[in-house]
């Protein structure tokens, strides 16, 4: 018997990534202070995190974490169905369900685990999961691991979704989509997809990891922004690790569906519960997100300011009005060069390359936070334009004329 060498296979894969300039390197953050990070001894203004509302360091959130850890310890102890379900978990699930307008919520250790749980618990070999082509990797992997038939439709194309569902009329069907897409920052056409799901008798599942807390009335996410509810979207995911600044996730839905997940979903049944201290911190963050509307107002103003400045400098933006503002670079080398130039100027913006995004669509994924100020955004725009010009001098151009930008004042 002749088997391939694992060492040779790994070395060949590494060499292939290096040749394509697609190696991934962890950066060590030694300290965070508001929107700034200390990385390799340098203080950088962070424009690549997902702390959209600026809650990860809020004193009420960190105090809740510390107090709960002092009383209840550091760990979740056991799975929820054994002895790990704590009063802090119960309170958080109730608060999330009340905020987002769903009968029940179920906590998970991460959004990835939650997506695996939903698809695995509801679909089998003879069923179909139809998904947007740009869905998060966790949704794609969930369908593959569930063993169901996976069909994908062109990005934001509701007609493509119905064609895929019609092509497989037998078996149970799920229509799954991101609410806000993590790399493009645009929003799924949920009203059209809800109609498709209703006509095709498919369960519509929305992963709103990047929408909850940021978009919609009272920050209730893309489902609420589309004026939909549990009858239209029986299941949706909310993360605790993006706008809420913590860690973990929750699936919200009809009582019977949530009960089924709690009893049968392997990523829920066979894993330790989220530490109660993290649930207490998330509960404090949810209450802040519900009450402090100024955070979303500040984000909206900063998004508008960034987009106006980027357009004046001729930067290549996607059509996003969320805190995710991709600046297209095209090839990988240019994205890397621009990211390095930005870091030299004091800005941390991650270059995103295939396979995370399609070939030829490498970008800088700029993310905005309520922690940023007007001067931070203006400085970033100038640095982006300079980085673009240095990476491609032929593209250099003077800024477009514009009226004096208004000064924004925040409390």
Q: How far apart are CA 133 and CA 155, in angstroms?
A: 5
CATH number of 26's domain: 3.90.1150.10
Q: Is 49 exposed, middle or buried (0-12, 13-18, 19+ CB in 10 A)?
A: buried
CATH number of 220's domain: 3.40.640.10
Predicted structure pTM score = 0.92
For residue 178, the cross-strand partners are: 207
Judgement on whether residues 278 and 367 belong to the same structural domain of the protein: no
Judgement on whether residues 89 and 193 belong to the same structural domain of the protein: yes
**219 CA to centre of own chain:** 15
pLDDT at res. 398: 52
Instruction: Name the catalytic one among 182, 222, 320, 391.
Output: 182
Judgement on whether residues 212 and 193 belong to the same structural domain of the protein: yes
pLDDT at res. 115: 98
Q: How far apart are CA 124 and CA 128, in angstroms?
A: 8
Judgement on whether residues 267 and 128 belong to the same structural domain of the protein: yes
| Residues making up the binding site | 24, 111-112, 136, 182, 210, 239, 356
Judgement on whether residues 73 and 222 belong to the same structural domain of the protein: yes
79 is a catalytic site residue: no
155 is a catalytic site residue: no
Instruction: Supply the DSSP symbol for 28.
Output: -
Q: How many domains does the chain have?
A: 2
pLDDT at res. 393: 57
Handedness of CA 65, 36, 308, 332 (dihedral sign): negative
* Residue 7, in any domain of the structure: no
Helices 332-344, 374-391: axis angle to 10 degrees equals 130
Judgement on whether residues 260 and 307 belong to the same structural domain of the protein: no
pLDDT at res. 409: 33
* Residue 388, in any domain of the structure: yes
Rg (alpha carbons) of the chain, rounded to whole number: 22
Judgement on whether residues 347 and 212 belong to the same structural domain of the protein: no
* Domain boundary residue, one of 291, 318, 343: 291
Q: Who's near 381: CB < 8 A, 6+ residues apart?
A: 306, 309, 310, 313, 315
Q: How far apart are CA 251 and CA 261, in angstroms?
A: 9
* Residue 9, in any domain of the structure: no
Judgement on whether residues 316 and 208 belong to the same structural domain of the protein: no
pLDDT at res. 3: 87
Strands 249-253 and 104-108: antiparallel
Kindly state the tokens that stand for 228.
């939909």
| Residues making up the binding site for pyridoxal 5'-phosphate | 111-112, 182, 210, 239
Judgement on whether residues 49 and 110 belong to the same structural domain of the protein: no
Instruction: Name the catalytic one among 85, 89, 210, 372.
Output: 210
Please give the chain's pLDDT, 411 residues, in tens: 788 899 999 999 999 988 888 888 899 999 999 999 999 999 999 999 999 999 999 999 999 999 999 999 999 999 999 999 999 999 999 999 999 999 999 999 999 999 999 999 999 999 999 999 999 999 999 999 999 999 999 999 999 999 999 998 899 999 999 999 999 999 999 999 999 999 999 999 999 999 999 999 999 999 999 999 999 999 999 999 999 999 999 999 999 999 999 999 999 999 999 999 999 999 999 999 999 999 999 999 999 999 999 999 999 999 999 999 999 998 899 999 999 999 999 999 999 999 999 999 999 999 999 999 999 999 999 999 999 999 875 555 555 544 433 333 332
* Domain boundary residue, one of 291, 325, 342: 291
* Residue 1, in any domain of the structure: no
Helices 190-200, 158-167: axis angle to 10 degrees equals 20
Judgement on whether residues 350 and 307 belong to the same structural domain of the protein: yes
CA-to-CA separations, 74 to 59, 82, 199, 212, in angstroms, rounded? 19, 18, 47, 27
pLDDT at res. 330: 87
Query: Is the bond leading into 177 cis (omega within 30 degrees of zero)?
Result: no
| Residues making up the binding site for substrate | 24, 136, 356
* Residue 237, in any domain of the structure: yes
Instruction: Supply the DSSP symbol for 187.
Output: B
Helix (H) / strand (E) element for 96: namely: helix 87-100
Q: Residue 204: left if φ>0, alpha if ψ -120 to 50, beta else—which one?
A: beta
Handedness of CA 275, 277, 282, 283 (dihedral sign): positive
Kindly state the tokens that stand for 128.
């179909």
Q: How far apart are CA 104 and CA 208, in angstroms?
A: 16
Judgement on whether residues 47 and 72 belong to the same structural domain of the protein: no
Q: Which residue, 275, 293, 311, is CA-closest to 71?
A: 275
Judgement on whether residues 155 and 275 belong to the same structural domain of the protein: yes
Instruction: Name the catalytic one among 89, 242, 320, 372.
Output: 242
260 is a catalytic site residue: no
Residue 213 is part of which domain span? 59-291
* Domain boundary residue, one of 291, 312, 345: 291
């Amino acid at each position: 018997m002749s088997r391939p060498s694992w060492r040779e296979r790994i070395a060949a894969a590494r060499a292939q990534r290096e040749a394509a300039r697609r190696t991934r390197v962890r950066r060590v953050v030694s300290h965070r202070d508001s929107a700034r990070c200390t990385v390799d001894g340098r203080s950088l203004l962070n424009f690549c995190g997902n702390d959209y509302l600026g809650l990860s360091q809020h004193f009420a959130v960190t105090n809740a974490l510390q107090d709960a850890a002092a009383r209840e310890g550091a760990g979740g102890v056991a799975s929820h169905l054994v002895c790990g379900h704590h009063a802090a978990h119960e309170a958080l699930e109730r608060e999330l369900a009340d905020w987002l307008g769903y009968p029940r919520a179920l906590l998970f250790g991460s959004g990835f685990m939650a997506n695996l749980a939903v698809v695995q618990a509801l679909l089998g070999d003879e069923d179909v999961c139809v998904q947007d082509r740009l869905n998060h990797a966790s949704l794609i992997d969930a369908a593959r691991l569930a063993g169901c038939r996976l069909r994908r439709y062109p990005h934001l194309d509701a007609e493509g979704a119905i064609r895929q569902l019609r092509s497989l009329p037998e078996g149970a069907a799920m229509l799954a989509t991101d609410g806000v897409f993590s790399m493009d920052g645009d929003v799924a056409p949920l009203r059209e997809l809800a109609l498709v799901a209703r006509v095709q008798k498919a369960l519509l599942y929305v992963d709103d990891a990047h929408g909850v807390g940021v978009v919609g009335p009272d920050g209730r996410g893309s489902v609420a922004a589309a004026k939909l509810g549990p009858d239209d979207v029986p299941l949706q995911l909310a993360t605790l690790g993006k706008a809420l600044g913590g860690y973990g996730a929750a699936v919200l839905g009809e009582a019977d569906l949530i009960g089924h997940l709690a009893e049968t979903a392997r990523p829920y049944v066979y894993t330790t519960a989220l530490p109660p201290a993290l649930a207490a911190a998330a509960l404090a963050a949810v209450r802040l997100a519900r009450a402090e509307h100024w955070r979303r107002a500040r984000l909206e103003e900063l998004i508008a300011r960034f987009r106006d400045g980027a357009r004046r400098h001729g930067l290549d933006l996607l059509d996003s009005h969320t805190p995710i503002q991709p600046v297209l670079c095209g090839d990988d080398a240019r994205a890397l060069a621009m990211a390095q130039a930005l870091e030299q100027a004091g800005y941390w913006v991650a270059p995103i390359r295939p396979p995370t995004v399609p070939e030829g669509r490498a970008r800088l994924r700029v993310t905005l936070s309520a922690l940023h100020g007007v001067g931070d955004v203006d400085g970033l725009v100038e640095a982006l334009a300079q980085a673009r010009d240095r990476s491609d001098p032929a593209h250099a151009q003077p800024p477009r004329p514009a009226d004096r930008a208004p000064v924004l004042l925040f409390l």
